[in-house]
Chain A
C-alpha cells in the first residue's frame, strides 16, 4: 500500500495533537519521509516452524504464522511465554534454533540487508545512549541508517514526539516517559515498513499511553505492519487488528487476519486479572 508524504505529514500532525499537555512542540514536517520515500506499505512476514532454545529451555515451539502487510498484531501471554523471543527473531536480533522466517514487500522476497533497512523496533529497553543528547542519539542512528541530512532528520523526528525543546539535553536527565518517546522517534527515524514494539506502554502514564495509542493508530493507517507484545488492557490496543496468544512458546489462540482480536485480548486480560488476584 503506497503511502504519500502528505499522508505521513497528516499522520504526524495527528501525533502532535495527541501529545500530552506540557510537552507540545512546534511541528514542521514528518520524520517518516526519507530517502526511501517513507513506508511503501507494510512488510509481510512468514514464520515457519520457528523453535528457539536457550540451553535446555524451549522459548518457542514450532511457531508458524503468516502476518500480512499492514496488519497490527498484538502478542499476548504470560511473562516467559515467548513474546519477546518472537519479536527478537522478527527483528533479526536472534536466530531461530529451527525453522525459517521470511519477509516480503509486495510480491518481492527481501534479503536480510533489505529487511534491516525497513524494521523499526521499540524494545523493553530504550535502545538509546544516556550519555548523548536526544539529538545526538538520533543523528547517530540516522548516520548508521545512511539517511540523508541526518541532523535535519533528527530534529524533524523530535518534533512529533514532543522532545524538540529538549533536543540538546542529555538522555540521562529524561523521565521514563520521555525516554520512551525518544525510543519511538528512534524506531521511526528510517521510515520503517515493519514496526516491532515490546510492551510499548511500559513506564508510560495514562496520558502517554493515550498518545502512544494514537501514534500506533496513525502508523497503522499509514500502512506499516505493526507487531507488538502487550500486557493486560491499555490504550495501545485500539489499533489492533489481530491478536495472538502465546503460552509456553506455542500459539494457543489466533484471532486471524479478519477475526475479532478483542476476544483474545479480553481473555488475556481476564486471565491476568484472575492470576493477579490469586497471587
Chain B
C-alpha cells in the first residue's frame, strides 16, 4: 500500500471519529476562548500594546490548545490497543504518525481560525488586511506544533504519568516555534510588508527537521 493511501486512510479515520463526537474540538475551543478572554481582562490592552503583546498571548493560547488537544492522539489508541492493529497492518509505520499529524494539524488550524476573529475583536487588531501572511505563519507554526506534539504524544502514551509528561516534553521543545511564530506574527501586525523571511525560514527548517526525525524514528516511537 502506498504511503499516501495509508496516510489518507488514517487521516480520514481520525477526522471521522473526531467530527462524530466533537469532544476534543469543542473542549479545546472553549478552553482557548477562556484563555484569550482572561488575558484580555488581565492586561486590558490598548491598540498599540495589543500589537506588542497580542502575538505572544495568541501563540501561548495556541500552545495550550496544542498540549490539550494532542494528548489524546495516541491515548485513544490504547483503549482497545488499536495501535497494535495499526502496527499489524502492512503499512509504513511513519504513515500512522503522518496520518495523525495531518489530522492534528487540521484540528489545530480549525481552532486557530475560530479563535482569530475573537482575538481581533478583544485586542482591537485588524487582521483582515494581513490575513494572507498571517495564515502562512499560522500554518508553518501549526505544522511544528502538530509534528512535535504527535511525536511526543506517541512517546508519552506509553509512560505511567502520561497526562503530565506531554506538556513537560512538549513545551520546552516548542519554545523555538513559539518565539519564531510570535516574532513573525508581531512583524505582520506592525506592517504587513514586514513578513520576516528569517523567522519563516526558521519555522520551515524546524518543521522539516522534526518531520525527518519522525520519519527516521517513527517505527521505534510506536513500539512498546
Which chain A residues have a beta carbon within 8 Å of chain B's beta carbons?
A: 88, 91-95, 113, 116-117, 119, 121, 123-132, 136, 140-141, 143-146, 186
Q: Are B88 and A116 in contact (CB under 8 A)?
A: yes
Contacts of A125 in B (CB 8 A): 80-81, 84
Q: Are A145 and B17 in contact (CB under 8 A)?
A: no
Contact with A along B71-104 (1 / 0, CB 8 A): 0000000011110111111110000000000000
Q: Are B1 and A146 in contact (CB under 8 A)?
A: yes
How many residues in B have their beta carbons less than 8 Å from beta carbons of A? 24
Complex: chain A residue closest to B85, CB-CB: A127
Q: Does B5 contact A (CB under 8 A)?
A: yes
B65 to A: closest C-beta gap in Å: 22
Partner of A93, one of B16, B20, B87: B87
Partner of B88, one of A121, A128, A130: A121
Contacts of A126 in B (CB 8 A): 80-81
How far is it, in angstroms, between the C-alpha of A113 and the C-alpha of B219 when the chains are bound? 13
Q: What are 8 A-B contacts defined by CB distance under 8 Å?
A: A92-B87, A116-B89, A121-B84, A124-B81, A125-B84, A127-B80, A132-B17, A146-B90
User: How many pairs, one residue from A and one from B, have CB atoms within 8 Å of each other in the complex?
Assistant: 71
Complex: chain A residue closest to B79, CB-CB: A130
Q: Does B9 contact A (CB under 8 A)?
A: yes
Q: Does B21 contact A (CB under 8 A)?
A: yes
How far is it, in angstroms, between the C-alpha of A75 and the C-alpha of B58 when the chains are bound? 57
Q: Are A145 and B82 in contact (CB under 8 A)?
A: no
Contacts of A145 in B (CB 8 A): 1, 89-90
A125-B80, A127-B88 given; name 13 further pairs at CB < 8 Å.
A95-B223, A113-B90, A117-B90, A121-B84, A131-B17, A132-B13, A132-B16, A136-B16, A144-B89, A144-B91, A145-B1, A145-B89, A146-B5
A134 to B: closest C-beta gap in Å: 13
Q: Are A127 and B90 in contact (CB under 8 A)?
A: no
Q: Does B147 contact A (CB under 8 A)?
A: no
How far is it, in angstroms, between the C-alpha of A124 and the C-alpha of B85 when the chains are bound? 12
A143 in contact with B9 given A127-B84, A128-B80, A132-B16 (CB within 8 Å): yes
How far is it, in angstroms, between the C-alpha of A128 and the C-alpha of B77 when the chains are bound? 9
Q: Are B20 and A131 in contact (CB under 8 A)?
A: yes
Partner of B85, one of A88, A113, A136, A186: A186
Contacts of B5 in A (CB 8 A): 143, 146
Q: Are A94 and B85 in contact (CB under 8 A)?
A: no
Contacts of B185 in A (CB 8 A): none
Chain B 16-59 interface residues, beta-carbon cutoff 8 Å to A: 16-17, 20-21
How far is it, in angstroms, between the C-alpha of A246 and the C-alpha of B191 when the chains are bound? 71
Q: Are B84 and A93 in contact (CB under 8 A)?
A: yes
A231 to B: closest C-beta gap in Å: 19
Contacts of B79 in A (CB 8 A): 130
How far is it, in angstroms, between the C-alpha of A186 and the C-alpha of B86 when the chains are bound? 12
How far is it, in angstroms, between the C-alpha of A89 and the C-alpha of B87 when the chains are bound? 12
Contacts of B20 in A (CB 8 A): 131
B1, B17, B81, B88 — most chain A CB neighbours (10 Å): B88
Q: Does B150 contact A (CB under 8 A)?
A: no
A128 in contact with B90 given A93-B224, A136-B16, A144-B6 (CB within 8 Å): no
Q: Are B81 and A123 in contact (CB under 8 A)?
A: yes
